[in-house]
Structure formats: C-alpha cells, structure tokens
C-alpha cells in the first residue's frame, strides 16, 4: 500500500529572530526524521516569523533570510521539508521551499495575497503564478500557502488536477473566535472537491496584536477530519496518509474526473510533477491513529489570551509584569491571565486606593493577590492627588468638578505604575476591556498607560464569562465572588457607577458588535429594535474615541474585528449617523 508519512510542525516562530527560528526548524526536522517522517512542513514565513511587516523593506533582512534557507536546506537529508521563507527573485515573494537531499528542489510563490483586515501583503509581495507539484517518495504533492486554499478556483484545484494526491498548505493564520469552524468546513470542502488529502500546518504563538492557534489539520480525500493538532501550543503532528485511497476515490468519482478535465481546458498545460525525493522507503509499520484534539469555546479564548500575553512579554525580553489592581473584574481577570501565563513570581499587583475607593474594593484586590500567590504593593494616591489639586487650584478656580478631577486620579495611578516599571523593568499590563475601548470609557495615560492590553478585545460580557470559566476550572476559584457580583464602577467620584455613563453592558455589547464588527448603520441597528437615543449615543462614543484608541497599547485580537490594524478609521472624520 502506497502511503506517505507527513509531519506538520506547528512552531512558535518569533518575528525577526532568524537565528532562533532556524534553530527551531532544524530541531523539528531532526525530530521528524527520527520518527521516519517522509515530508515535514513548517508554517508560512517560518524563517522570518509572521507578519514581518516593514522589516520586509530592509534588503539586509531578505538577504539574511535567504542565507538561513540555504543553511536549513543543507541539513535536510533522508527527509523532505517544506519551509516558509521570503524568496527574492527580481521581486520578493511569500514563498515555500521544498527541500530535499541538501538542496532547494523547488519554490512555490503564494498566489493570493491577503490585503484586508489585519493583512497588508500587497504592500510587500508580488503574487506567484505557477502551480508546481512534486513527487515525494512516490506520492505526488502540491504545496500552497495560507490564503491560496481559501479560493475554490485556486492552486489546490489545479495541483490536484495535475496529479497531486496531497496538498500541503502552510499558514500564518491568526486566530479569532469562530475562525476554527469556518476554516475546518472550508478545508473539508476543498479536500472533497478535489479528492485530495489536505494537510494544514499553522503557526502558533503571539505576535503583537495577533495570536496564532496552531490547530494543524489533516482531512482525507472524502473531507473527513483525520487529525487535529494542539491548540495554542507547539506540536509535531505525524500521520500516515493513505495515498492509495486517493486514487481509488478518484476512479470511482466521475464528477471528479470531469472536473479535472475542466481544469485542463482552463489552464492549458498543467505542470509536470518533478521528482524531488526517492530515498529508499524505510521498512516501517503504520503509526497508530492519533486522537483528534477536542476544544471548548471559552477554553479556547482563555488559552489565546494566555499565550498571547506570554509571548508578548517574553519575546520582548521582559520577565515580570505589573498590574494595577482595583478590585474590579477587569483587573482581576487580567491578573489571573498573567499569572497563568508567567507564573505567580512574575506578576506584581499594585493597589492604589483613593479617597473614593470602597473598602470592599481594597479587600477584593488583597484577596485576589492572595488567591493567586502574587506580590501586592499598596500605594494610596491621596498625597499626589491632593498636591495636584492644589497646584491646579488657581487655574481651576470657579469651575465645577468634572472629568478633569476624575482623570487626575487615573493618571496618578498610571504615573505610579510607570515609575515602578522604569525603576524595576517590569512591563505594565493595562486592564481595559473592549466595551471600554470602544466607548472611550477609560483614561488616556491613566488606566490606558502600559505596554500590553491583555483584554482589549474582550467585551465586558465576555469578561464575566471568562472569569466564571476560570473560577470553575479550578482547582480553587481565584477571583473572589464579590468581584463578580458587585456593580461595575470606576470609583473616581462618590457613588459612581458605569451605568451612569454607559448603557447596560448586555445591550452595549450587542450594539458594539453590530456597529464595530459588522459596520451596520444607525438605521439598521435601530431597525433591530434598539432604542434610538442609546444607539446614537453609543455610535457617537465609538466615533469620538478614535484618538484614544490610536494611543492605546496593543492587545490580543480575539474577535473577527479588533481595534488596531484590523479597523483603520481616520481620527479626523465628520461622518456621523443621522
């Protein structure tokens, strides 16, 4: 029986770390070889990390990446490997090299360059126009890259018609809620449509706003899921592919044979398979079938936040983080995620009570720190608040207290956090959620001051769900019940409550989803039954807060449309709902 043992290496590459990424690729090649793998695949742009953004405009970066590819090729013996890199050939291409016998035996250039959402690939790359296929140990393989496989008429179809029995699709595909289902459905369809085995390899890890989930997949030629790799963790997925079954399947499917004929008529000459490896087939018994990893929606989101945080901190050379703990749900969840990501020794909480802080809030912060086993500093802000009010008393003479006095407190806290950060080299994590980021219910340079915004893309209602999820996960609940139960308040003036300034979060988050993620108009949202005045106010808050968001630290994208590179609105804009 003809079979191919593939290895899908879902590695956590770091952008710009050409040495480190190369070292990791070589290690995984060794591991794959020791498991008698015929063909091992690495993610899109594995050598450079993804996305390298304007590093791609530095000639020295391109050259160095080409040097690394040759270094890797040299080590690829008695196995074949597919490695993502930047190919420089008259222009630059998002490319996959097929390596074998110490040589680069082929290069595929990505044909479909995404230039929407968080992607800017037209800014950098020229698109490919060739559909090569390769024979690896007697099996015909087509290689393509990420976006390519999303197009029904793309290279997968042509490569299959040219004889490819296996498609290796390598990815730097960022995760968001709901993407997994769409992706798996699409891949199953591609596999069945072309009666081809689809091997989907994906990057894992955090890169600035993005987090890659790994979640490598293999679908057989009937579109059945064969294996799913780990989520949000590195993995080497090894599986034996039943190649005979592909031929059998095609023979028995007249629709398939007509489809391939149609491709031949459209494309003209189809590419000829190039034999790229024909090493003596190892005597080996088939692997036991690996279990398909399961997943749970909240667990997935939580894991994304943990990995995104860990990678941002570590990849940027930090070890410890600092979090202002107000006793509220947002800072509590942020601290728990940080502790799960970095360990309790690497998280420092700071309680900074003011004259308006309730005793309950102070207790809750203390309790949370105890539960997590993290260090807690307590620095009341009254002295600086009092001094600042006095300094401003002349200028403020005759005015009523307003947001100025409230923000003063938040900014004194930001100043304290940053002073500790500057003194000890701890990175400050901010604690604002997406509902706040959307409406601007936050203080620029105050609670928005910090290096990374862990839950920036988590709507408030989801913050609660994640807190409950994490408490239930145990072993013990970590977030005090009173934190979850109490009414949200910024505590910047007496008896302040979020609902004084915002609609209830249940309604707010729905309107935000329609307006921010789906770009629906005022009329449409009102048409769904929401109160006109509320919708108008929410839209106006969102539109009016663009300047704040522009100065916010990056945070992890978890929704289909996050603030940041995903949603690029002008600050100066007079477009308003009627």
Peptide linkage before 578 cis (omega within 30 of 0)? no
426's CB contacts (< 8 A; 6+ apart) are 318, 320, 321, 322, 348, 420
Choosing from 68, 100, 139, 146, the catalytic residue is 146
Length of the chain: 578
Which H or E element spans position 231? none
Burial (CB count within 10 angstroms: exposed 0-12, middle 13-18, buried 19+), residue 572: exposed
Q: For a copy of itself, give the closer residue by CB, 39 or 542.
A: 542
Q: How far is the CB of 432 from a copy of itself (least distance, A)?
A: 14
DSSP codes joined into one string, 5-66: EEEEEE----TT-HHHHHHHHHHHHHHHHHTT-SEEE--TTTTT-S--GGGGG-HHHHHHHH
Q: How far is the CB of 222 from a copy of itself (least distance, A)?
A: 36
DSSP codes joined into one string, 246-280: HHHHHHT-HHHHHHHHHHHHHHSSPPPPEEEE-PP
Query: What strands, in cross-sheet order, belong to the sheet with 197-202?
Result: 225-228, 217-219, 197-202, 166-171, 139-145, 133-136, 274-277
Q: How far is the CB of 399 from a copy of itself (least distance, A)?
A: 6
Q: Is 110 a catalytic residue?
A: yes
Q: How far is the CB of 392 from a copy of itself (least distance, A)?
A: 6
Q: For a copy of itself, give the closer residue by CB, 295 or 445.
A: 445
Fill in the DSSP letter of residue 487: P
Tokens 């085995």 sit on residue: 197
Tokens 């921010």 sit on residue: 516
Q: How many whole angstroms separate alpha carbon 101 and alpha carbon 531? A: 68
CA 384, 387, 389, 392 dihedral sign is: negative
Q: How many whole angstroms separate alpha carbon 219 and alpha carbon 197? A: 6
Tokens 């003011």 sit on residue: 354
Q: How far is the CB of 572 from a copy of itself (least distance, A)?
A: 5
Q: For a copy of itself, give the closer residue by CB, 388 or 510.
A: 388
SS3 11: coil
Inter-helix orientation angle 532-544/505-512, to 10°: 60
CA proximity to 336, closest of 371, 308, 377: 371
For 244-372, strand residue ranges (E) read 274-277, 321-324, 347-351
SS3 211: strand
Q: For a copy of itself, give the closer residue by CB, 193 or 543.
A: 543
Q: For a copy of itself, give the closer residue by CB, 87 or 165.
A: 87
Choosing from 44, 209, 259, 436, the catalytic residue is 44
Q: For a copy of itself, give the closer residue by CB, 317 or 506.
A: 317
Q: How far is the CB of 536 from a copy of itself (least distance, A)?
A: 14
Choosing from 24, 68, 110, 460, the catalytic residue is 110
Q: Is 146 a catalytic residue?
A: yes
Q: For a copy of itself, give the closer residue by CB, 239 or 492.
A: 492
Q: How many whole angstroms separate alpha carbon 267 and alpha carbon 82? A: 25
Q: How far is the CB of 356 from a copy of itself (least distance, A)?
A: 17
Q: For a copy of itself, give the closer residue by CB, 53 or 253.
A: 53
For the stretch 122-133, what's the b/e string if a residue is b when 16 or more beta carbons lie within 10 angstroms of its beta carbon? eebbbebeebbb
Q: Is 44 a catalytic residue?
A: yes
Q: For a copy of itself, give the closer residue by CB, 132 or 414.
A: 414
Q: How far is the CB of 64 from a copy of itself (least distance, A)?
A: 8
Catalytic residues: 44, 110, 146
């Amino acid at each position: 029986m003809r079979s191919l043992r593939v290895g899908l290496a879902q590695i956590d590459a770091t952008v710009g770390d050409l040495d480190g990424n190369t070292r990791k690729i070589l290690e995984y090649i060794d591991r794959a070889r020791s498991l008698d793998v015929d063909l091992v695949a690495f993610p899109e742009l594995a050598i450079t990390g993804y996305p390298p953004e304007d590093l791609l405009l530095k000639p020295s970066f391109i050259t160095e990446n080409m040097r690394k590819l040759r270094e890797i090729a040299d080590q690829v013996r008695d196995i074949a490997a597919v490695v993502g890199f930047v190919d420089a050939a008259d222009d630059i291409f998002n490319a996959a090299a097929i390596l074998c016998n110490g040589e680069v035996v082929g290069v595929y250039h990505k044909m479909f360059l995404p230039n929407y959402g968080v992607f800017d690939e037209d800014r950098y790359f020229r698109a490919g126009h060739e559909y090569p296929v390769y024979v690896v140990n007697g099996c015909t393989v087509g290689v393509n890259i990420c976006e390519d496989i999303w197009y029904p008429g793309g290279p997968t179809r042509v490569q299959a018609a040219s004889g490819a029995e296996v498609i290796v699709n390598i990815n730097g595909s960022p995760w968001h809620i709901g993407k997994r289902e769409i992706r798996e459905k699409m891949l199953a369809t591609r596999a069945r449509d072309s009666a081809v085995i689809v091997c989907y390899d994906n990057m894992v890890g955090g890169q600035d706003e993005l987090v890659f989930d790994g979640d490598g997949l293999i679908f057989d030629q009937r579109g059945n899921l064969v294996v799913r790799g780990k989520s949000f963790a590195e993995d080497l997925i090894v599986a034996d592919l039943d190649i005979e079954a592909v031929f059998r399947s095609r023979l028995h499917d007249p629709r398939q044979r007509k489809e391939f004929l149609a491709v031949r008529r459209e494309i003209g000459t189809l590419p000829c398979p190039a034999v790229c490896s024909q090493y003596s087939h190892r005597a080996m018994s088939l692997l036991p079938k690996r279990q398909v990893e399961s997943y749970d929606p909240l667990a997935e989101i939580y894991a994304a936040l943990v990995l995104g945080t860990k990678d941002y901190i570590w990849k940027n050379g930090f070890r410890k983080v600092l979090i202002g703990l107000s006793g509220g749900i947002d800072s509590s969840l942020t601290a728990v995620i940080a502790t799960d990501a970095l360990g309790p020794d690497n998280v420092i909480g700071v309680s900074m009570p003011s004259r308006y802080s309730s005793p309950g809030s102070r207790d809750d912060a203390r309790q949370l720190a105890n539960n997590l086993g993290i260090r807690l500093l307590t620095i009341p802000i009254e002295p600086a608040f009092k001094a600042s009010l006095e300094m401003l008393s002349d200028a403020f003479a005759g005015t009523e207290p307003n947001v100025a006095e409230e923000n003063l407190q938040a900014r004194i806290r930001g100043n304290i956090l940053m002073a500790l950060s500057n003194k000890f080299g701890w990175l400050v994590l901010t604690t604002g959620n997406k509902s706040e980021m959307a409406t601007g219910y936050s203080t620029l340079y105050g609670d928005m001051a910090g290096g990374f915004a862990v839950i920036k893309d988590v709507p408030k209602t989801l913050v609660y769900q994640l807190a409950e999820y994490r408490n239930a996960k145990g072993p013990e609940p970590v977030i005090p019940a009173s934190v979850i139960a109490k009414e949200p308040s910024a505590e910047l003036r007496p008896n302040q409550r979020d609902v004084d300034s915002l609609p209830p979060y249940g309604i707010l988050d729905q309107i935000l989803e329609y307006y921010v993620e789906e770009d629906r108009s005022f009329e449409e949202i009102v048409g769904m039954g929401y109160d006109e005045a509320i919708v108008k106010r929410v839209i106006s808050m969102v539109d009016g807060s663009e300047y704040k968001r522009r100065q916010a630290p990056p945070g992890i994208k978890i929704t289909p449309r996050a603030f940041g590179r995903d949603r690029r609105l002008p600050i100066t804009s007079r477009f308003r709902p009627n």
